[in-house]
Structure 1
Amino acid sequence: MSWDIAFLRGINLGKRQIKMAALAACLEASGYAEVRTILASGNIRFRHRGDSEATRIELESLIETQFGFKVGVIMRSEAQIRLMLAEHPFGALDPAADLTCHVLLFQAPLPTGLTLEGIAGHTEILRVDPREIYIAGYRQPNGRYTEGVDAVLKPLYARLGRDVLGTMRNWNTVQKVIP
């Protein structure tokens, strides 16, 4: 049985706090095996027999029941994460550049032919895949890396609507979700 990975959207912000140990215990009590949380930003690896969409819905329900608020869940299989890693989406970037790499994960497929314009020297859109967008954020004079991401993604969200389920993760985090 392979791993499933759940990326939770919008937790540990403001009053939407979940302790990762409590989250793991909740999943284990519900029959999920080998549950491991990765960092404190809502990344969970586990083994579970079941359809990915059914598991996603079940996780959303479990979290809402246990913690008292709705959380969107974006699922990926171990094979999908391994493929993302193998394709080296950030491999063409200058290794000496002062930047940070992120992936925006969506639960549903994005519109075919979707393109986004980056901001030169600030926020670069490296690739748009069917359910992921790979983004590089360059260090700015104020020391921040991702301030321009909202401006770059604004046209995307205007096109997709507010109900689209997506969440962004640092590439270093994605690299840690598979043992």
Structure 2
Amino acid sequence: MSLHVAFLRGINLGKRQMKMADLKACLEDMGWTEVKTILASGNVRFEAAEAGDLKERLERALEQRFGFPVGVVLRSRADLEAMLAADPFAGLDPQADVKRYILMFDRDLPAGINLEGVPGDFDVLRIDRRDIYFLAHRLPNGRYGEGLDRIGKSLDEQVGKGRIETMRNWNTIEKALK
């Protein structure tokens, strides 16, 4: 059995509603065990005996169960442990009025990808093989990192369309294996 965490893209927005109890039941019906949802926002941890096409199987099962396609970004226990061990936010002042985010992709990013932050809005801290780490600053309107929404065009040019990506607060990653 190997542990995985699935991060679902674009659920509980508009008509794309999914109760976490139903998500848990869906994975259990697939024969996966130790299923636990993380927070109430489309994150689910599970153990599976098989390997291979877990992502594709889960996407098919979710569409059949809920009636709409759901993109999945999947990470193994080893992936998450490596992320946490690397701790891209280690040097951050604990009193800083910022939020920590990770943008996760379903496939490897191309070599040489280049994203720039927006001073006073957000900083790009690190770009890894399948993940981009951001630090979002509190803006005068009280929100954090509104400019993060504008990186999509740059990603389309550098990564291409058809990718699945989902952003999470770093706190979610810290809770994923607990």
TM-score (norm 1): 0.95
Instruction: Select between 23-32 and 158-167 the one with higher mean Cα deviation.
Output: 158-167
Q: 1-side partners of 2:19 and 2:129: how far apart?
A: 32
Instruction: Select between 122-131 and 92-101 the one with higher mean Cα deviation.
Output: 92-101
Corresponding position of 2:66: 67
Corresponding position of 1:4: 4
User: Is the CA contact 2:121–2:137 (under 8 Å) kept in the aligned structure 1?
Assistant: yes
Corresponding position of 1:47: 47
Q: 2-side partners of 1:114 and 1:14: how far apart?
A: 32
For residue 109 of structure 1, what is the amino acid of its counterpart? D
Quote how far apart the aligned CAs of 1:150 are. Answer: 1.6
Q: 1-side partners of 2:31 and 2:2: how far apart?
A: 15
Instruction: Select between 149-158 and 112-121 the one with higher mean Cα deviation.
Output: 149-158
User: Is the CA contact 1:119–1:152 (under 8 Å) kept in the aligned structure 2?
Assistant: no
User: Is the CA contact 1:5–1:78 (under 8 Å) kept in the aligned structure 2?
Assistant: yes
For residue 129 of structure 1, what is the amino acid of its counterpart? D
Corresponding position of 1:116: 115
For residue 161 of structure 2, what is the amino acid of its counterpart? R
* SS in structure 1 of the partner of residue 171 of structure 2: helix
Quote how far apart the aligned CAs of 1:157 are. Answer: 2.4
Corresponding position of 1:106: 105
User: Is the CA contact 2:36–2:44 (under 8 Å) kept in the aligned structure 1?
Assistant: yes
Corresponding position of 2:141: 142
* SS in structure 2 of the partner of residue 3 of structure 1: strand
User: Is the CA contact 2:89–2:100 (under 8 Å) kept in the aligned structure 1?
Assistant: yes
For residue 6 of structure 1, what is the amino acid of its counterpart? A
* SS in structure 2 of the partner of residue 85 of structure 1: helix
For residue 24 of structure 1, what is the amino acid of its counterpart? K
Corresponding position of 2:80: 81
User: Is the CA contact 2:100–2:134 (under 8 Å) kept in the aligned structure 1?
Assistant: yes
Q: Give 4+ residue runs of structure 1 displaced > 3 Å after superposition.
A: none
Corresponding position of 2:128: 129
Quote how far apart the aligned CAs of 1:106 are. Answer: 0.4
Q: Does 1:35 align with 2:12?
A: no
Q: 1-side partners of 2:89 and 2:50: how far apart?
A: 32
User: Is the CA contact 1:78–1:178 (under 8 Å) kept in the aligned structure 2?
Assistant: yes
Q: Does 1:24 align with 2:24?
A: yes
Q: 2-side partners of 1:41 and 1:86: how far apart?
A: 24
User: Is the CA contact 1:4–1:76 (under 8 Å) kept in the aligned structure 2?
Assistant: yes
Quote how far apart the aligned CAs of 1:94 are. Answer: 2.2
Quote how far apart the aligned CAs of 1:153 are. Answer: 4.1
* SS in structure 1 of the partner of residue 83 of structure 2: helix
Identity across matched positions, percent: 51
Q: Tell me the matched-pair count.
A: 178
User: Is the CA contact 1:6–1:76 (under 8 Å) kept in the aligned structure 2?
Assistant: yes
Q: 2-side partners of 1:151 and 1:11: how far apart?
A: 21
For residue 12 of structure 1, what is the amino acid of its counterpart? N
User: Is the CA contact 1:116–1:153 (under 8 Å) kept in the aligned structure 2?
Assistant: no
Q: Which runs of 5+ in 1 are unaligned?
A: none
